[in-house]
Amino acid sequence: MAIRKIAFVGLGIMGLPMAVNLVRAGYTVTGHNRSPERVDALVAEGGLRGGSLPEAVADADAVITMVPDSPDVEAVLTGEDGVFAHAKPGTLVIDMSTIRPDVARSVAAVGAERGFRVLDAPVSGGEAGAIEAKLSIMVGGAQDDFEAARPVFDVLGTTPVLVGPSGSGQTVKAANQLIVAGNIQLLAEALVFLEAHGVDTESGLEVLGGGLAGSTVLQRKGKAMRERNFAPGFRIALHDKDMRIITDSASAAGVAIPLGSQVAQYVAALKNQGHGGLDHSALLKIVEQLSGRDGE
């Protein structure tokens, strides 16, 4: 059955532009969010107001959830007033949050028992990727369910890939967040290093971006880091959550991640200093502190 009606639960920094892109692609999108002004913004773009969660999901062909953490996903999907209690059996449920892989597997199992098709489909690309519909989408679940969701994914991103059974999408997302955090940390170190030697960082990053050191992180974050503009595209508090998922999952699998563990401590330190609302590129602040250049 073709998907035409979508309930979108969680209209945050990334969820709102994703929902708007679905509206613009011709889907009927009903929004639900704890902060009503985010629903207002979706309605202004042609979406529908969902009211309560049960009301929002009752008539949907597909439900997309985009909420902060594992307990939020469990509450939204399996709670008494959640999706599994009020959506139509057979509804395709796509969780695009970033959560623990074991939780993704458990909610998929609960959903299957209740007659739902469940995919875990976390994304990478940040706010810019969500706005530009250029997200990378890592999907765990059944092939048939992935194919049913593919038209939706194609609206939201450029790289939707089925990576394995339930929980696999979240495992790949954890690896993504490990790479992103390490990349941001090294970019921060490079910037402070260049500044200490009096190099023009704009031209320095331009030439670095054209070589093997080039990356999406450098392209998307370099200018703002040079300018110390840490307006959140992806908040430190969320990356701290992600790094805890990574370190816990790596420990459970007996995998050593020495560099990742170090960066995880830096991310946690920034959050503990009260910087949880800043963009994760604020890792630059830690490098400045360690270099004795904080506030220069």
**For this structure, is 173 an active site residue?**
yes
How far apart, in whole angstroms, are the C-alpha atoms of residue 36 and residue 92? Answer: 25
How far apart, in whole angstroms, are the C-alpha atoms of residue 173 and residue 166? Answer: 13
Q: Which helix (H) or strand (E) holds 48?
A: strand 48-49
What pLDDT, on the 0 to 100 scale, is given for residue 288?
A: 97
Note whether 5-165 and 171-290 share their fold.
no
What pLDDT, on the 0 to 100 scale, is given for residue 296?
A: 55
Which residues lie closer than 8 Å to 141 by C-beta, 6 or more apart? 108, 117, 118, 119, 120, 121, 162, 165, 166, 169
Annotated domain spans of the chain = 5-165, 171-290
CATH class, 171-290 region: mainly alpha
What pLDDT, on the 0 to 100 scale, is given for residue 251?
A: 95
pLDDT tens digit string along 207-228?
A: 999 999 999 999 999 999 999 9
How far apart, in whole angstroms, are the C-alpha atoms of residue 181 and residue 188? Answer: 11
What pLDDT, on the 0 to 100 scale, is given for residue 233?
A: 86
Taken in order 245, 236, 179, 97, the sign of the CA dihedral is positive
Q: What is the pTM of this model?
A: 0.92
Mean pLDDT of residues grouped by 10 in the chain (296 residues)?
94 96 98 95 97 96 96 97 96 97 97 98 93 97 98 97 98 96 98 97 98 96 97 94 95 96 98 97 97 81
CATH architecture assignment, domain 5-165: 3-Layer(aba) Sandwich (3.40)
Average pLDDT, the chain: 96
Catalytic entry in 173, 221, 241, 285: 173
